[in-house]
Chains A and B, each alone.
Chain A
Amino acid sequence: MDKYDVIIGLEIHVQTKTNSKMFCTCNSNYFKDEPNTHVCPVCFGLPGALPVPNKRAIEKCILLGLATNCDIDNEIHFDRKHYFYPDLPKGYQISQYGRPICSDGYVMVNGDTKIEIERIHQEEDVAKSTHHKEGGLDYSLIDYNKSGVALIEIVTKPCIRSAHHAKEYATKIRQICRYLDISDADMEKGQMRCEPNISLQEKGKWKQEGSRILPIGDYKLNSKVEVKNIGSITAVEKSIEYEIERIIEELEKGNTIEQQTRGWNADKNITEFQRSKETADDYRYMPEPDIPVIDISEKDVERISKELVELPDDKAKRYLETFELSEYDIGVLTAKKEISEYFEKVVELLSKNITDIKEAAKLSSNWITGTLFSISNEMGLEISEENIQIEDLVALIKEFKEKTITKNKAEELLKKALEEKKDLGNLLDDFKKTKEESSGNLEDTVTAVLDENKQAVEDFKNGKQASLGFLIGQTMQKTKGSANPNDVKNILLKKLNE
């Protein structure tokens, strides 16, 4: 490993969340729908059909460019990328070649590592094909629902130097897409696809110039390997790690690396050879004659930029400065926009009672990332205002802070609210009512418990400390858990020592 540098470039495709497809009015939400029911002459590639670009899709592409510090072109040019394949009925994909809408951007990962984005362009998705065999005969089944759905391609420079950074970068892109509602970017549903290309070069024998890797002196560069079929963010890291190991092994054996495409096999955790790429792809790009050049004014870009919201990095910075939360907590709270919004609402309301904003934030963070998440993760559901209302959670945290409810009891109520889909506010009211009713006669309850458990009392007086715990338990049971165990303990000790 000390001998080689790892050079990774990442291509990410993201399906834009729009109502209609990129160049026609077919409904682009096809998930789980019957095959070939979202098809029209345009996306089915019938002769004579004319593509008409979707304004909203392009807005979202520009929005992603703005969020990743790209330059936005003032003209949009579409091109045809030709290749023959059954999932592409026209025989070409409408894409962008010479002038992508967005270029020269970057995002930061791991705090201080800059991942440079070469370009972000708009294109259309292809049909879904599955491959089968029948009596020795190969065939494919094609569903054209996906054909023509708006697709954004994001290409980095070959500037990623580790599998971990590739994963962090993919996570960041997914996060930005979700924050800005550009895409749901669910990799399992194919809404986001990552294709890394990886090469290993000997240290000191290559240099990067823009988006190109060049040899120094008479060094011969090793070919790059492209990995496809990556179905999750974790697989981005795992597949690259695997590929690095494999390439090192080959190089150490003295073998040359053939330029090739490999597929990630998630069951076996390996990459498998798919095809060699001896010749450069020949897509015969040409300007798309059916779509005029689209002019974008500064005003258009300004209007679109109003949709930018506070992005994860900025949010994390603010949380650190205003709330002084731990890096870990901040990471969890900003991972999803919905969670961060929920958290901020809780803090805002709680800070009406707890004036120290840092304390309010710390308490809110503890309850949300700790208790609430561990319960919701176990149940596989998302925390939202629909299942736990802000004011109810704040009331619960307040009770806890004032020590009028124990942590255990509070957790029990939260669990009950989520599991049994009950209103936390009502549960808390019930708890307080029971507590009020019983608090007046907590002494009476303790007396009753002592009367009923003469043996335990005897044992305690003979020095058996464990009996105290038993008596506390009995009293708690009688008060249905509403009493404060500390109060119970004090009263018990007082009475036992009388």
Chain B
Amino acid sequence: MSKMDLKHVAELSRIKLSKEELEKFTPQMEQILESVKVLTEVDTKGVEPMKNHLPFSELREDIAENGMSKEDVLSNVKHIENGKVKVYGKVFGGIEES
């Protein structure tokens, strides 16, 4: 893993890394990836991914219930305005992602 890769991954998670931190973490990350790499050496040819299966009929029925109270929802929120969660900082250009 290069310094650029680490910087990219950090940016995606909105984490700021200083030059020193990049120097320090890059070899550590490399070591972690090296350890995990062992897994790719296992021959998985013909082995189905292990995942639980659920028949369609057993999915949740569409019945609405009350959620949390507004007070509970907002109890851990630092900044509130008109019952909405207030977040400081610029988020890219007013685009709603979905």
Contacts and interface: CB of A to CB of B under 8 A. Distances in A.
Nearest to B12: A282
Nearest to A226: B95
A284 B66 CA distance: 33
- The residue among B13, B60, B92 with the most chain A CB atoms within 10 A of its own CB is B60
B18 interface: no
Contacts of B86: 139-142
B14 to A, nearest CB: 5
- The residue among A57, A58, A139 with the most chain B CB atoms within 10 A of its own CB is A139
B82 interface: yes
A261 to B, nearest CB: 7
A54 B60 contact: yes
A328 B82 CA distance: 49
Interface string A23-44: 0111111000011111111011
B98 A93 contact: yes
B64 A19 contact: yes
Interface in A70-98: 75-76, 82-88, 93
Contact of A142 (B51, B61, B85): B85
A192 to B, nearest CB: 12
A85 B89 CA distance: 11
B67 A40 contact: yes
B43 interface: no
A263 B92 CA distance: 12
Contacts of B67: 24-27, 37-40, 43
Interface in B37-84: 49, 51-57, 59-68, 70, 73-74, 81-84
Given A36-B70, A39-B67, A292-B54, A142 B62 contact: no
- The residue among A36, A52, A284 with the most chain B CB atoms within 10 A of its own CB is A36
Contacts of B63: 19-20, 25
B70 A52 contact: no
A57 B62 contact: yes
Chain A contact surface mostly: mixed
Nearest to A142: B85
Contacts of A57: 62
Contacts of A337: none
Contacts of B66: 27
Contact of A35 (B59, B64, B84): B84
Contact of B83 (A34, A58, A76, A86): A34
Nearest to A272: B93
B62 A274 contact: no
Contacts of A35: 82-84
A275 B81 contact: no
B62 A34 contact: no
Contacts of A307: none
A37 B56 contact: no
Interface stretch (A123-131, A177-185, A384-392, A406-414): A123-131
Contacts of B87: 86, 129, 139-142
Given A36-B74, A82-B12, A263 B94 contact: yes
Nearest to B94: A131
Contacts of B21: none
B20 interface: no
A193 interface: yes
Contact of A263 (B55, B93, B97): B93
Nearest to A44: B73
A454 interface: no
Contacts of B88: 137-139
A20 B61 CA distance: 9
B24 interface: no
B80 to A, nearest CB: 9
A44 B67 CA distance: 10
A20 B95 contact: no
20 contacts: A26-B65, A27-B65, A27-B67, A35-B83, A36-B84, A40-B68, A53-B59, A85-B97, A129-B91, A129-B96, A140-B86, A140-B91, A144-B85, A274-B94, A284-B12, A293-B51, A294-B56, A295-B53, A300-B56, A300-B57
Given A13-B98, A24-B67, A82-B12, 12 more contacts: A27-B65, A35-B84, A36-B83, A36-B84, A36-B85, A41-B68, A55-B62, A58-B56, A93-B98, A138-B91, A142-B86, A294-B59
